[in-house]
Amino acid sequence: MQNELPECGVARFLVLLEGPWATLIVRELLHGPLRFGQLREALPGISPHTLTSRLRQFEAHALVTRTVYAEVPPRVEYELTPLGQQLRTVLDAMAEWALTVPAVADREGAL
């Protein structure tokens, strides 16, 4: 698992949120704490392995906490830490920009 982080902020971001699933996991957790199964349901196509490894990476960098509730069966919840919550500004900026970009077909139709 990647411990060293690049000095460049953008490169550092791309290591911390490695791959598209990482950003989508954060998008879901910004709605509130979720269980593993709920995250898998919200992200069709993600493999358990990828979800586990991304969540572990987030925990290692204190972006997510993993809480086990001593119930029967035990309940495990993942939640963004305050540092993780601050990703809201980045994801909002991503969405705001991306929604100004027309799909290629729209643009060609409009020429």
Question: Which CB, 3 or 73, lies closer to its own copies?
Answer: 3
Please state the length of the chain: 111
Plot region of 61 (φ>0 → left; ψ -120 to 50 → alpha; else → beta): alpha
Segment 30 to 59, residues that bind its own copies, using CB under 8 A: none
**Which of 55, 63, 64, 80 touches its own copies by CB under 8 A?**
63
How far is the C-alpha of 60 from the C-alpha of 99, rounded, in Å? Answer: 32
- Please give the residues from 80 up to 109 whose contact with its own copies meets the rule CB under 8 A: 83, 86-87, 89-91, 93-105, 107
Q: Edge-to-edge strands of the sheet including 75-80?
A: 34-35, 75-80, 64-69
Contact between 9 and its own copies per CB under 8 A = yes
Q: Which CB sits closer to its own copies, 24 or 55? A: 24
Report the residue number, 4 or 71, with the smaller CB distance to its own copies. Answer: 4
Number of CB atoms found within 10 A of residue 59's CB: 14
Coarse DSSP helix, strand, coil percentages of the chain, rounded to the nearest 5 percent:
55, 15, 30
- Which residues lie near its own copies (CB under 8 A)? 3-5, 8-14, 16, 18, 20, 23-24, 27, 60-63, 83, 86-87, 89-91, 93-105, 107
